[in-house]
Structure 1
Amino acid sequence: MTPRAPQNRLVAIIGATGTGKSDLAVDIARRYNGEIINGDAMQLYQGLPIITNKISHQEMRGVPHHLLGCIGLEEETWTVGKFVQKALSVIDEIRSRQKLPILVGGTHYYTQSLLFEDALADAPSQNENNGVQDLSILDGPTDAILEKLMEVDPVMADRWHPKDRRKIQRSLEIYLKTGKQASQIYDEQRIKQDVAPENGTPGSNQPVQHGFRPRFPTLVLWVHAPKDVLYPRLDNRVMKMLDQGLLSEVESLNTFRMTSDASTGSPVDQSRGIWVSIGYKEFKYYHSALIEGTISKVELEKLRTAAIESTQAATRQYANRQIRWIRIKFLNALYGAGQRGNTFLLDGSDLSKWEERVLWPATEVTNHFLSDHFLPDPRTLSTVASEMLAPKRDYDLSQRPELWKKRVCELCGTIAATENDWNLHVKSRRHRRAVGTKKHQENHIAERRDDPESLRMEPTGESVDILESHMDLISEQSSPK
């Protein structure tokens, strides 16, 4: 007999793009009388099912889906605070129908902020409608937002990379809506964590440690596939997107953009919102060349190949960022909240064994979770689970302000917002090349200093100026009058 979902339970399904999260969510929903909440920022937009990789109506198999295709193309993606507000409202509606809410999506900072009541996403609710501050600056250029943030909250302004629009925007939004600095809210949050009572939540099997307080008991199912399996799968998906009509969606976006530019008198900002979705920005130049028909077939095919390769690379990079977020931020937050026993990794590397390695284990632990039974040790599900369920590092940088050290490379001009970014930069080819060039210049100067003869033979700046002036005079005298 399928257990009835306790009213305050939630199942969250996470993982990199292309791992089968949506399919698993539908299977769990059908077995346990659930409804699904979208947690993917790009899938909030109306239309564009190919570019945003939305689940099709047929694939939903009758399961209600929420927060899917609910905002217009002209809108920015929701801030994390707005997503949390909307998602909590939907969760309450689902529970009012005695159904199980199931969150699924790849925007993991949305998921993480929804699961914990102490998350910074809750800040606007303290004074959401104060009406004192003008929020229009949040739609302006990133430089202007950063300048304002530097004025009102220099600690947070110095925390972020100057091109990290989402984080800069969010920090200023918190101040404008609450009247409190985001850095101050972080400090208050850490104090709460330090004094949090050591009691767990139902179904967690573990006490709360220092960390965020969970909003409600949550079962986390992480569908995972290693890079050597996932990357070819993602590359193939890009080719399928082309076959399914990717270029027609690029055309519709271009048409929308040109219409908007003409009606508003100003160009659409393509640095954010739907315009940064993977697939549009990579193919827009090829599509324009295809429509204009002004270049040869050979050059056109080169553009097409470059667009495909760029889209495939961007998709692989996105999947890698998602996995890094889970292992560095999400696992630390979950474990710090006493949810180690509620977090399960499912091996989705072999699609031919999906039922055996993903569906059946997920069904079993969900059944235990909803029945309020003790859950098995997540590390025992598979070898890959025992390896990947260990956080990549034992802290979340956002909770360690003493490690917030933005640095600028004097040689390259590169800005590193974290110690890890700095270490990656100093190991990069660009930086090593710059160091080598500087050493070569220093060695050359030292050699000249040690060899007085070379100094006498090499013209000084003053002698070069005199010679150039003399040559100019000769040129003027010899030129026809």
Structure 2
Amino acid sequence: MKISFSASKQIRPLLHIPSTCTQLLRHGPPKEKVVVVMGATGAGKSRLSIDLATSFSAEIINSDKMQVYQGLEIATNKITDEELRGVPHHLLGVIDPESDFSAANFRAMASISLQSILSRRQLPIIVGGSNSFVEALVDVNFQSRYDCCFLWVDVAMPVLHSFVSDRVDKMVERGMVDEVRAFFRSDADYSRGIRRAIGVPELDEFFRVESSCDEETRARVLAEAIDAIKMNTSRLACRQLEKIHRLRNIRDWRMHRLDATEVFRKRSGEAEAAWESMVARTAEAVVSRFLYDSEPAVYGCVMAMRSGARPLMAATAS
């Protein structure tokens, strides 16, 4: 008997991939979330970052080019231990005051801090007035890896200039002159390190003549130095605002503007209430939407947030 065997055609089962999974594969895994708080000097960036960090599970990366240095806590308006409210800070008062710290240095160190914060499942909040540092960090490659929420604390310039002037007077009362005197050198290079900070070059002439002139001259030179500090701080605020407008209008950074002008026009309890209602709560709502405003999509045993939110990060904001 002749037996004929016919080769059977192997049929592979079709692998069905839900459209939602196809979308996830196409776009890749959700990006990690990063909040960036910007604004001119004195606008309330540090205060807002602390408010957010205590409302969400967050740590803060300082991006102020003078506050990264050790020393001159008053002159650089460094946040106090009490104001920190236990929130972990990175790159705050850690660099030798005699060394230079460039935007490239910041980018390298901030990237390390960023990964450290994310590894603990915390929200990184980058805050500071040095927009050149922020721009160096948040380049195209950065935004391809991270989802950024930009918060801009804005105050009308005439109002902010008045506040800055009053703040300088308070810094002098707190001992800024004696603090800066400790950094005075007759051969100092004011283009390097912490001596670039506003308040240090302006007081140079006063320190040179204070021991060799009469009281009237000494008071006049000091007053001129303080006026110069106020003027240069106001000029810094204008430059910072111009840079923010450039980043928003030319670099196309999508920013959530928080107008804090009315806060600065009020006093005591009214100012506190205005900050809470106009700035803090609004910012918390923006960040909450940024992190959580979507339903989780479940793919088998894998859960991803359609907005890219990280489900293990718990929010405590009301």
| TM-score (norm: length of structure 2) | 0.77
Return the offset for 1:273: 2.3
Point out the structure with the larger helix share.
1
Does the Cα contact within 8 Å between 2:31 and 2:147 map onto a contact in 1? no
Q: Match for residue 244 of structure 1?
A: 174
Instruction: Compute the displacement of 1:7 (Å).
Output: 7.0
CA 1:236 to 1:214, structure 2 compared with 1: closer, same or farther past 3 Å?
A: farther
- 2:74 and 2:144 mapped to 1: Cα distance? 34
Gaps of 5+ in 1: 1-5, 120-212, 259-266, 375-481
Report the counterpart of residue 203 of structure 2 in structure 1: 283
User: 1:15-26, aligned counterparts within 5 Å?
Assistant: 15-26=39-50
Separation (CA, whole Å) in 2 of partners of 1:320 and 1:274: 21
Does residue 312 in structure 1 map to residue 216 in structure 2?
Answer: no
**Cα offset, 1:302, TM superposition:** 1.2
Local SS of the residue matching 2:32: coil
Higher Cα radius of gyration: 1
Residue 373 of structure 1: how far off its partner (Å): 4.2
CA distance 1:245–1:20, change in 2 (3 Å): same
CA RMSD of aligned residues (A): 1.8
Matched AA of 1:299: T
**Contact 1:25–1:104 at 8 Å: present in 2 too?**
yes
Specify the alignment match of 2:124 in structure 1.
101
Task: Report Cα offsets for 1:139-166 as digits up to 9, x if no partner.
Answer: xxxxxxxxxxxxxxxxxxxxxxxxxxxx
CA contact (8 A) 1:38 1:103 kept: yes
Shift of 1:115: 1.6
How big is each residue's C-alpha offset from its partner over 1:382-423, in whole Å with a ceiling of 9 and x where there is no partner? Answer: xxxxxxxxxxxxxxxxxxxxxxxxxxxxxxxxxxxxxxxxxx
Tell me what 1:143 maps to: none
What SS does the corresponding residue of 1:361 show, helix, strand or coil? helix
The Cα of 1:87 is off from its aligned counterpart by: 0.5
Q: CA separation of 1:96/1:118 partners in 2, compared to 1, >3 Å: closer, same or farther?
A: closer
Distance 1:373 1:361, change over 3 A: farther
Distance 1:305 1:286 in 2: 9
Cα offsets for 1:8-58 (capped at 9, x unmatched): 100000000000100000010111110000000001110210111110011
Which of 156, 165, 173 is the matching residue for 1:226? 156
- Give the alignment of 1:155-304 within 5 angstroms: 213-254=143-184, 257=185, 267-290=187-210, 292=211, 294-304=212-222
Residues 396-455 of structure 1 deviation map (CA, whole Å, 9 limit, x = unaligned): xxxxxxxxxxxxxxxxxxxxxxxxxxxxxxxxxxxxxxxxxxxxxxxxxxxxxxxxxxxx
Q: Does 1:347 align with 2:267?
A: no
Larger strand share, 1 or 2 = 2
User: Of 67, 82, 90, which residue of structure 2 is paired with 1:58?
Assistant: 82
Q: Kindly provide the amino acid, as one letter, of the partner of residue 350 in structure 1.
A: E
Give 5+ residue unaligned stretches, structure 2.
Answer: 1-29, 264-270, 296-318
Distance 1:20 1:37 in 2: 16
Compared CA separation, residues 287 and 268, structure 1 to 2 (3 A): closer
Letter in 2 for 1:245: G
**Aligned partner of residue 307 in structure 1, secondary structure:** helix
Contact 1:13 1:102 in 2 (8 A): yes
TM-score with structure 1 length normalisation?
A: 0.51
Residue 118 of structure 1 deviates from its aligned partner by 4.3
Contact 1:7-1:98 within 8 A present in 2 as well: no
